[in-house]
Structure 1
Amino acid sequence: MANQKPSLQFSRRAFMRTSSLAGGGLLIGFNLFQACKPEAKAPMNLAALDYSNFNAFIKIAENGAITIFSPNPEIGQGVKTSMPMIIAEELDVAWDMVHVEQGILDTENYTRQVAGGSQSIRLGWEPLRQTGATARQMLVNAAAARWGVEPSECTTSEGVITSPSGETLGYGDVVNEAAQLEVPEEVTLKDVKDFTIIGTDASNVDIDEIITGKPLFGLDYKVDGMVYAAVVRPPAFGLKLSSFNADKAKAMPGVLDVITIGEKARKLIGENPGIAAILNGTDKVVVIAETTWQAMKAKETIEADWAEDTKLESTEEHDKILSDLLDGNKFNTMRSDGNIKKAFAEADEILERTYESPFLPHNTMEPMNFFADISDTKVHLVGPVQTPEWKAGAVAQMLGREPSEILLEMTRQGGGFGRRLYGDFVLEVAEIADAIRKPVKVVYTRDDDMADGIYRMAIKYRIKAGVKDGKLTAYHLKEAAVNSNMYGLIPNFFPAGAIENYQVDVAKYDSNITTGAWRAPYTNFLAYAEQSFFDELAEMMEVDRVKLRLDLLQKVKGTTDDRIQYSPERMEKVINTAVEKSGWGKQPEGVYQGFVNYYCHNSHVAEVADVVIENGTPVVKKVTCVVDCGIVINPLGAKNQAEGGVIDGIGHAMYGELAFENGRPTATNFNNYRLIRMMEAPDVEVHFIKNDFAPTGLGEPTLPPAGGAIANAFKAATGNRIYKQPFSKFPELLKVPEKEILG
């Protein structure tokens, strides 16, 4: 990576700079996701700049201070810290001189202002480095011109430029001169070995505000004259509002009005049927009050009658439908290599297993909320959303407004996990604000959030493998899912390419229950199913379970199949490292281990779970997690992400479940929805593979393997395999036989 030259797309077309800043200084636009449009214009006067009208640029002040306005949503994944670290590294400034601010949505100058898929750092790596390096080169050029020397003879360190003779100038000393210079066509990036910020621990840039309760989150946002809205939504999927009585609510203190919404949502659905998957078009009753408490209490008194609009579905029905789909022949084939029918017909042994998972809610710490203030001349939206551009466009379409009229400000988000991708709450508050023409915030209760959510779909996988002459010759993976849209399977991940006869098929059932991405979409349950299956397959073949995986990887090395997305070499490295770091197979008696490896979100992971028997039941004590996500920007933040993913994966595999009865979810709060508890969280030991590869995903890749790791460890401890989540529903399979306890 040393002495890399940027391509043209990272030079003039990707940068802007102004030369007449109020009070002096240099303002450079940066392209976080290769998204800065060529015609984008930076503001020419900073005198009036503030949080609400300025974003997505870095400012270098005369005192050398660096301000970075970040355009991407921060949902706890740490991009508001790690992305500026990349710029600061190439800019060559001290990290403690950097100040970070959240930007607003700017659809004119930027695209993909999105938080999702663990792609922020991966896609921002090169543009961010080019940004910092270009700014640094402009400052060096200005200093060299003043000294009358060649820029190549000058060096930089922590915001100071040094001449060949030893003279020094701070960045602030030459920033105004640099602002007059042309943006260089080519710059040199640092060699990885010279990094001083990247690879060092940095605290969250918002940590002081978070722990002292400063207003950062959507729930914190307030303006003078703001009112609050609580929405009465259908109590079951498949119902529509037929009538209501709001007399009691209107008589309560602080209640300002009771209205209905839904007409504009139905219009939007009519123009864009795809939005029906996340937006219920039925009428809803809305209580408007002076405070959230008043609105929520009044909402409880609304007497609403609901009529059946579409079928009221139940989990028992879903189970049968998905099983019938797996048994049927109405599949979409996503990948087919060789001839699986022939291979199975010739196989000496066949193993076939079915794995089942339930719906899951997201349960973000901060319930859904959003603010809107709408008049004839403006549509002002503020709050936590992972897809601001998508939602701003939908609001414009729903209200019949020009996209240019929409101003959307992003707050920090108290968790996303995919729930805030969809922004149904943004559309709700926009319709409310358009009706009442007052600044208003809609706030969900936890029950609102869980009862009218967008859930991880219920899925069943059936995996079948054939063995001939001691070798794995056939592999067939089937998926049946509620509202899948081919969502759950990744046909080109491991073991694709390693088995000559390989096929992946999907089938789905269309439901009126809203479903969508849940943390580590595509893989959050599939990893458990596949990795449990590989362990059982190794037992049937009477081969070492780790060796089985390593042998399969050998067959992929040197492949010319460009569909394969994982690297067998990098996967092999994480496997071998996990074996070493976990003491695989070398633990003392009474410690049972489960092994998995997985690739998703462009990263390679291996995990080993250690369990012990307590009161006749296996308990997870430790998970060793090895990750190859390329260069680690912020080890402290990366470690937190990896640990959180493992614990989240274990918690939901053990306890997470949401069923439906006549269209109603069986749990709407934490009194009857089980999450992992602090005392149940194992020690997670994280190891990162050190290399010079560009960074890949990290917010999600450690979650999918965790369920498989503990399932395989439970098998080692109890002799029982579990084929359905959550595991806690099957206590008889988590019991160690009494004779073994006594023995």
Structure 2
Amino acid sequence: MSTPSITFSRRSFIRTSSLASGGLLIGFNLFTACKPTVTPPVDISQLNFNDFNAFIKIADNGAVTIFAPNPEIGQGVKTSMPMLIAEELDVAWDNVYVQQGDLDTNNYTRQLAGGSQSIRFGWEPLRQTGATARQMLVNAAALKWGVDPSECTTLEGVITNASGDTFGYGDVVKEAALLEVPENVTLKAPKDFKIIGSDAKNVDLEKIITGKPLFGLDYKVDGMVYAAVLRPPAFGKVLESYDATEAKAMPGVIDIIKIGEKAKELTKEENSNWTVAMSTSDKVVVIAKTTWEALKAKEAIKANWVTETPLESTQDQDQKLLALLDGNKFNTLRKDGDIKKAFAQAEMVLERTYESPFLPHNCMEPMNFFANITDEKIHLVGPVQTPEFAANAVAGMLGRDVNEVHLEMTRMGGGFGRRLYGDFVYEVAEIADAIRKPVKVIFSREDDMTAGTYRPAIKYRIKAAVKDGKLTAYHLKEAAANGNMYGLIPNFFPAGAVENYQVDVANYKSNITTGAWRAPYTNFLAFAEQSFFDELAETMGVDRIQLRLDLLQKVKGTTDKRIEYSPERMENIIKVAVEKSGWGKKESGTYQGFAAYYCHNTHVAEVADVIIENGMPVVKKVTCVVDCGIVVNPLGAKNQIEGGIIDGIGHAMYGDLVFEDGTPQSQNYNNYRLIRMMEVPEIETHLIQNDLSPTGLGEPTLPPAGAAVANALKAATGNRFTQQPFSKFPEMMQAKSAPKTIIG
């Protein structure tokens, strides 16, 4: 890869002549979103650093502080994104301190955690920031020495000239702040990286394991009260009346109020915001001195709920989705060739329907948020993936100027898409506006699992035509509750590989609130398609790996710009996975399943090894090959890869949320099954080394995990699963009698 020469707008930097403590302040342009109208403060001594959400601070002693503006949900961006700056700044990573920034809508247009896109979008802008700061320091040192900057080199915060003289960054930081910002900087070539590509532990690790206050649940201020919200017990019901006499008399209770009128404005079509996924019912709120007192008093409220819209059960949902698949009201997302003609001329047709349930997110840290509202300010603090959306919605809901909102982000104990939606923020804002006290709303685990915003229930129907031993048509149909707002991805594999190819979607409106769930739109689709390809190979009498490779050959050299995956990169990960997993060469008694998938700009192949223990199949090992371009932090990457696989296996095997009359039947972990530590397989990870720009990693390893396991279970039991969770069908999990090495 060539070393690029970058033109960098000087308006993208916030630069001042000095710091109150001495040093250089440089704002960096995250996601290329820094607004060109931003101007530096005239007097840096008057600067409150909280007014900026993203900058580098270099002190006189050479210490470097990098403020990270993006929400941290466990994906590691608070560590990996500053690594990009530190690499080009050329400082020792051990000397870098990272601090979470606040929401700043005046300087940035996008602060968001979602879609595994943070590193992908920040790759060049953040490196440009570090490189520009480094060049300014070099220029300052060169002026002091009276030499040309080209004669100077840097290494871990030290500038050296041709004569061997040295300056630390802290020695020249004040002079550097007086210089012009260079418009052209040169970024390092990958071969010169020292920090990028090296293991770096989580910057918050020690604080996490020693219990320091980092998370939303940790946040507290003097005089703060706590709120517990009584929400409808079923989707489709609304509050008619309530009696809080007994609850008001309980210890610690300060007040009991009703909310909902202001939040209803957010759900109106003219105020529609995709982060709003909440009931339109009024709600009853207990305000108390402690969380426990609030939660206990909530249980004592006698509420009368009435049915406003039909109450759905799982059986109703299944029938509606199947009816959609059998109907003709579809939105066609892609249509190549003529599938009707191809199916009419086919010698063989294979058709299968795949089914998945609603799923809760199950974040370790339940939803919570803090608000303190006065006539002058709206102060919000907590864990949310979409802080700017939340701030705008709160301001609109309360009829206030968004500039009055000050939102601080805490670290999140999991997000997985749940915290993209700000219902808990809107609730606490309405409460705080009513009581005018600092207040934190806290969900119990039961609240968290029953309040909604689930992964939507989805059914896929896949139909393929075969003629003369070749795949001639492929038709994929989706039926989803609430339209699976992210839709199918019509330009993923096998798009472009089959002459007659069509993708159709249909949906029905459910009153059960739904939204993004880790690896949205692909978390179940990968299982359906990769299971189907294995069965298709069996039906055609061809090798399952070769079938995929042959299809990829047809996409190479395509001029179809709609195709999103790379056939070359997909082919490579497949071949590496076959080699590294010992595909088809395992000892007797091991059953293997394969899957390869592209999503979130990353290519992943996985092989699951299943053995039989006590007559039942057990996932013993998963071999995973990932091509995500340059890996910024291999240690963090491995954690994300393993976490995605475990999550994918666990939910494919066990995740199931059933509804009866609009009421979720699982309210806590006593009757909602998650994967357990003893069930986690060995995971062997292989990262493809190349110089391509980095892509997503928090989500791509989850989708193929369920498919690889399902194909291995087929080899072990002879039964092919078309529904998740697999544990719902114990009779299909019975092992075959004669153990031998089989690939599935």
TM-score of the superposed pair, with normalisation by structure 2:
0.98
Instruction: Tell me the residue number matched to 1:693.
Output: 692
Point out where structure 1 has 5 or more consecutive residues left out of the alignment.
none
**CA, structure 1 residues 639+739, in 2 after alignment: closer, same or farther (shift >3 Å)?**
closer
Shift of 1:42: 4.1
Shift of 1:739: 6.3
Match of 1:222 among 196, 220, 223: 220
**Local SS of the residue matching 2:452:** coil
Instruction: Tell me the residue number matched to 1:17.
Output: 15
Report the Cα distance in structure 1 between the residues aligned to 2:245 and 2:44, rounded to whole angstroms.
52
Shift of 1:171: 0.6
Encode CA deviations 1:162-186: one digit per residue, 9 max, x unaligned.
1011111111111111100111010
Instruction: Tell me the residue number matched to 1:323.
Output: 322
Report the Cα distance in structure 1 between the residues aligned to 2:551 and 2:485, rounded to whole angstroms.
26
Shift of 1:53: 3.7
**Local SS of the residue matching 1:152:** helix
Report the Cα distance in structure 1 between the residues aligned to 2:559 and 2:660, rounded to whole angstroms.
50
**Local SS of the residue matching 1:140:** helix
Instruction: Tell me the residue number matched to 1:170.
Output: 168
Encode CA deviations 1:524-566: one digit per residue, 9 max, x unaligned.
0000000000000000111111111111111111000000000
Report the Cα distance in structure 2 between the residues aligned to 1:209 and 1:523, rounded to whole angstroms.
34
Instruction: Tell me the residue number matched to 1:4.
Output: 4
Report the Cα distance in structure 2 between the residues aligned to 1:415 and 1:273, rounded to whole angstroms.
26
Shift of 1:718: 1.0
Report the Cα distance in structure 2 between the residues aligned to 1:74 and 1:638, rounded to whole angstroms.
15
CA contact under 8 A between 1:51 and 1:101: conserved in structure 2? no
CA contact under 8 A between 1:2 and 1:192: conserved in structure 2? no
Match of 1:197 among 180, 195, 198: 195
Instruction: Tell me the residue number matched to 1:684.
Output: 683
The 5-angstrom pairing of residues 260-409 of structure 1 reads 260-270=258-268, 271-273=270-272, 278-409=277-408
Asked if 1:561 corresponds to 2:560, the answer is yes
**CA, structure 1 residues 197+154, in 2 after alignment: closer, same or farther (shift >3 Å)?**
same
Encode CA deviations 1:600-631: one digit per residue, 9 max, x unaligned.
00000000000001111110000000000000
Shift of 1:48: 6.1
CA contact under 8 A between 1:653 and 1:707: conserved in structure 2? yes
**CA, structure 1 residues 492+479, in 2 after alignment: closer, same or farther (shift >3 Å)?**
same
Instruction: Tell me the residue number matched to 2:84.
Output: 86
Report the Cα distance in structure 1 between the residues aligned to 2:411 and 2:401, rounded to whole angstroms.
26
Q: CA RMSD in A?
A: 1.3
Instruction: Tell me the residue number matched to 1:501.
Output: 500
CA contact under 8 A between 1:610 and 1:621: conserved in structure 2? yes
**CA, structure 1 residues 235+621, in 2 after alignment: closer, same or farther (shift >3 Å)?**
same
CA contact under 8 A between 1:488 and 1:526: conserved in structure 2? no
Report the Cα distance in structure 2 between the residues aligned to 1:220 and 1:565, rounded to whole angstroms.
42
Report the Cα distance in structure 2 between the residues aligned to 1:145 and 1:579, rounded to whole angstroms.
58
Instruction: Tell me the residue number matched to 1:413.
Output: 412
CA contact under 8 A between 2:484 and 2:515: conserved in structure 1? no
**CA, structure 1 residues 215+593, in 2 after alignment: closer, same or farther (shift >3 Å)?**
same
CA contact under 8 A between 2:286 and 2:294: conserved in structure 1? yes
Instruction: Tell me the residue number matched to 2:431.
Output: 432
Shift of 1:484: 1.7
Match of 2:177 among 145, 164, 179: 179
TM-score of the superposed pair, with normalisation by structure 1:
0.98
**Local SS of the residue matching 1:187:** strand
Instruction: Tell me the residue number matched to 2:661.
Output: 662
Asked if 1:62 corresponds to 2:94, the answer is no
Shift of 1:274: 5.1
**Local SS of the residue matching 1:6:** strand
Report the Cα distance in structure 1 between the residues aligned to 2:616 and 2:710, rounded to whole angstroms.
13
Residue type of the partner of 1:28? I
The 5-angstrom pairing of residues 139-150 of structure 1 reads 139-150=137-148
CA contact under 8 A between 2:589 and 2:739: conserved in structure 1? no
Report the Cα distance in structure 2 between the residues aligned to 1:181 and 1:709, rounded to whole angstroms.
57
The 5-angstrom pairing of residues 27-176 of structure 1 reads 27-45=25-43, 47=45, 52-176=50-174
CA contact under 8 A between 2:266 and 2:273: conserved in structure 1? no
Report the Cα distance in structure 2 between the residues aligned to 1:357 and 1:204, rounded to whole angstroms.
35
Residue type of the partner of 2:543? D
Residue type of the partner of 1:13? R
Report the Cα distance in structure 2 between the residues aligned to 1:165 and 1:559, rounded to whole angstroms.
55
Report the Cα distance in structure 1 between the residues aligned to 2:175 and 2:2, rounded to whole angstroms.
28
Asked if 1:635 corresponds to 2:641, the answer is no
**Local SS of the residue matching 1:372:** strand
Instruction: Tell me the residue number matched to 1:466.
Output: 465
Report the Cα distance in structure 1 between the residues aligned to 2:265 and 2:194, rounded to whole angstroms.
54
Shift of 1:6: 1.2
Shift of 1:688: 0.3
CA contact under 8 A between 1:461 and 1:478: conserved in structure 2? yes
CA contact under 8 A between 1:52 and 1:409: conserved in structure 2? no
**Local SS of the residue matching 1:18:** coil
Report the Cα distance in structure 1 between the residues aligned to 2:227 and 2:191, rounded to whole angstroms.
54
The 5-angstrom pairing of residues 449-488 of structure 1 reads 449-485=448-484, 487-488=486-487
**Local SS of the residue matching 1:596:** strand
Instruction: Tell me the residue number matched to 2:237.
Output: 239
Report the Cα distance in structure 1 between the residues aligned to 2:738 and 2:172, rounded to whole angstroms.
79
Aligned residues between the structures? 739
**Local SS of the residue matching 1:725:** coil
Shift of 1:147: 1.1
CA contact under 8 A between 1:655 and 1:674: conserved in structure 2? yes
CA contact under 8 A between 2:360 and 2:453: conserved in structure 1? yes
Point out where structure 2 has 5 or more consecutive residues left out of the alignment.
none
**Local SS of the residue matching 1:686:** strand
Instruction: Tell me the residue number matched to 2:445.
Output: 446
Shift of 1:266: 1.5
Encode CA deviations 1:137-181: one digit per residue, 9 max, x unaligned.
110111111111111111110000110111111111111111001
Instruction: Tell me the residue number matched to 1:253.
Output: 251
**Local SS of the residue matching 1:622:** strand
Shift of 1:272: 1.4
CA contact under 8 A between 2:90 and 2:134: conserved in structure 1? yes
**Local SS of the residue matching 1:364:** coil
Report the Cα distance in structure 1 between the residues aligned to 2:355 and 2:187, rounded to whole angstroms.
49
Report the Cα distance in structure 2 between the residues aligned to 1:639 and 1:157, rounded to whole angstroms.
28
CA contact under 8 A between 1:228 and 1:443: conserved in structure 2? yes
CA contact under 8 A between 2:75 and 2:698: conserved in structure 1? yes
Shift of 1:740: 6.2
Report the Cα distance in structure 2 between the residues aligned to 1:44 and 1:459, rounded to whole angstroms.
56
CA contact under 8 A between 2:276 and 2:421: conserved in structure 1? no
Residue type of the partner of 1:57? F
Report the Cα distance in structure 1 between the residues aligned to 2:139 and 2:738, rounded to whole angstroms.
79
Report the Cα distance in structure 2 between the residues aligned to 1:400 and 1:380, rounded to whole angstroms.
15
**Local SS of the residue matching 2:185:** coil
Report the Cα distance in structure 2 between the residues aligned to 1:420 and 1:47, rounded to whole angstroms.
37
**Local SS of the residue matching 1:553:** helix
Residue type of the partner of 2:628? C
